[in-house]
Amino acid sequence: MAVFIPKLQEILRRIDGRGYKAYQDIKGVYETGEFLLSIDHVQGDPFASPSRLSVKVPLEESGFPPELYSSKVRRIALQDYLARAFDMGIAAIASGRRGTGRSGLIAIDAGGQEVLERNAVLIEGKWLEARFVVGLPAAGRTVLGHQAEEMLCGELPEIVRRALYYRSHDGKKVQMHVESIEDQEFLRAKLKGKGLVAFIGNGSILPRRSGVDERPLRPGADQVVVPFHSPPDLEVEFHLPNKGLVRGMGIPQGITLIVGGGFHGKSTLLRAIERGVYNHIPGDGRELVVTLPEAVKIRAEDGRFVEKVNISPFIGDLPYSKGTKAFSTENASGSTSQAANIMEALEVGARLLLIDEDTSATNFMIRDERMQELVSKDKEPITPFMDKARQLFHDHGVSTILVMGGSGDYFEIADTVILMEEYHPRHVTRQVREILKALPGRRRPEGGEVFGEIPSRRPLPESFDPSRGSRDVKIDAKGLKAILFGTTAIDLSAVEQLVDLSQTRAIGEAIFYYASNYARRGLSLKEGLDLLMADLDRGGLDILVPYKAGNLARPRVFELAAAINRMRSLKVQ
Ligand code: ADP
Ligand code: MG
């Protein structure tokens, strides 16, 4: 079922057997009768990054009912569905390796468990566009023109037919995908109105297959999977536009403690809440786990760089009178890094902090009455989080959800306490109040009356130089948790809500965009990033790069700020 693309076929036949550079001749746009094929960038050799191609189908001819993309969230959901369909089409049709290096590769950036705004498939104006990469085939450095013809004129049109036309799909499945995403977005937007910061729907599957596999844990012979079910008096209900009535556990604003014995599912619950800032594909198990969009996971991160952050709410003057109102270090400790992570998140608008004892610095979290007795307050620079969480909520309206199996001192400040027992949540706030009466602590609060100031820093433009050697701009994502920005390596390994490599890539590009457009105007970091996010709302991810790319996914402002804050070249006024 090859398509006749006379001009492309003619070139491929002509350059067959020639040096790889001859492939440059195929750059351009071809009309197939069904779609437009655009060869946007041709790789320099078979081992280089593969060539970038795109196809455009007239939206009307693709046949998708307009209600499937009638709003922004629906459009993003449908685009996501189509990128995944394209990916499955590749798996079914493309024959794979066809020579040296990346020869034979066809790939699209389809995403994982989350449904993110991306630019792999775009519905824009009158067009449905898919962007993908192709490893143009070669034997050594010799063009395999006939193989390229099979790929581009045979396999590719077949993939396009399978993925980009409504008639090839099960209409019910497409609709379910779009409606599920719409429901999740709706639910997230409703949290605030009900005084909630998170919702975990009954029946949700929270555990994942492994630390490196985000798919849901599967029940098996020796594997029990316990679906989530809300305790009766934390249960709330929502009417979703598509799914209708759903019930589940609502976590109210304020300070929520998740307690329980080891291995009883505390961290698993918190991780699901962390990911609840994103929408999930149907079948993920977390389609009804939603969290305030401004939720930020906070952890200790010793060794990180910090530039002039006010950590004084948590850390007073350090030995040898190093002030902490504009604290800088090349090598933060566990507690100073955790304090900096909180203050930086607050600076760009965090409304909910998510903290797990597993990844916290002990001295940042607790200081009990015996230790208060031995080490007086004026000899301990650290004010533990327990003495600041209430002020943070009272003064700034910022809630906290905290996993803490190790210290009952937190009972004093908790509004809500959830006990995990064999993966079942129990609501134990009342019981905790009784324990507090029976066993009153003699711990003295040390946090003062107010939380303290959350300053806005102004990054200096010279912080951001992406040049390297002879290259003007060299920005590279080195895996999910690292970016090379010019000569500056950015370590994101502790940024836990960064979930997709394409977000990482977008962050690298977004830093450059921020530096070019907003860092020079004396704006604060928050002002600059808010403007950048508004630009993304208007122009989409394509504004971030000067060429046509299909491998970007939208990051949140928090992960973007986290990357900037971890640039060792960062200087603020
Ligand atoms: P904790 O933080 O309380 O020590 P974790 O959340 O780390 O416990 O969970 C311990 C183990 O139990 C993990 O391997 C996790 O995958 C598994 N687990 C958690 N929740 C469930 C569940 N609902 N059903 C089955 N296994 C679960
Ligand atoms: Mg744990």
Phi, psi (5° rounding) for residue 50? Answer: -65, 165
Centroid of ligand 2 to alpha carbon of 358 (angstroms): 6
Cα–Cα distance measured from residue 13 to residue 9, given in angstroms and rounded to the nearest whole number: 6
DSSP per-residue string spanning 524-543: -HHHHHHHHHHHHHHH-GGG
| Confidence (pLDDT) at 347 | 98
Ligand 1 site, residue 267, Cβ cutoff 6 A: yes
Centroid of ligand 1 to alpha carbon of 207 (angstroms): 6
Residue having the nearest C-alpha atom to atom 10 of ligand 1 = 263
- The residue count for the chain: 573
Pairing of strands 114-115, 279-280: antiparallel
| Confidence (pLDDT) at 1 | 46
In order of 89, 330, 393, the CA distances from 387 in angstroms are 55, 27, 12
Atom of ligand 1 nearest to the CA of 223: 25
Q: What does each of the 573 residues of the chain score in pLDDT, given as a tens digit?
A: 456 688 999 999 999 999 999 999 999 999 998 999 999 999 999 999 999 999 999 999 999 999 999 999 999 999 999 999 999 999 999 988 889 999 999 999 999 999 999 999 999 999 999 999 999 999 999 999 999 999 999 999 999 999 999 999 999 999 999 999 999 999 999 999 999 999 999 999 999 999 999 999 999 999 999 999 999 999 999 999 999 999 999 999 999 999 999 999 999 999 999 999 999 999 999 999 999 999 999 999 999 999 999 999 999 987 776 789 999 999 999 999 999 999 999 999 999 999 999 999 999 999 999 999 999 999 999 999 999 999 999 999 999 999 999 899 999 999 999 999 999 999 999 999 999 999 998 999 999 999 999 999 999 999 998 887 777 889 999 999 999 999 999 999 999 999 999 999 999 999 999 999 999 888 999 999 999 999 999 999 999 999 999 999 999 999 999 999 999 999 999
Centroid of ligand 2 to alpha carbon of 356 (angstroms): 7
174 conformational bin, left if phi > 0, alpha if psi -120 to 50, beta if neither: alpha
Cite the beta strand spans of 33-167 per DSSP E: 36-41, 51-58, 106-107, 114-115, 121-124, 127-134, 138-139, 142-143
Ligand 1 site, residue 36, Cβ cutoff 6 A: no
Q: Where are the domains of the chain?
A: 3-169, 251-455, 461-565
Ligand 1 site, residue 226, Cβ cutoff 6 A: yes
Instruction: Let me know: does 326 contact 336? Beta carbons within 8 Å.
Output: no
Cα–Cα distance measured from residue 539 to residue 544, given in angstroms and rounded to the nearest whole number: 9
Closest CA to 385 of 304, 451, 308: 451
Ligand 1 site, residue 220, Cβ cutoff 6 A: no
Starting from the CA of residue 216, give the closest ligand.
Answer: 1
Residue owning tokens 């973007």? 560
| Confidence (pLDDT) at 235 | 98
Closest CA to 30 of 50, 48, 12: 12
Q: Does domain 251-455 have CATH number 3.40.50?
A: yes
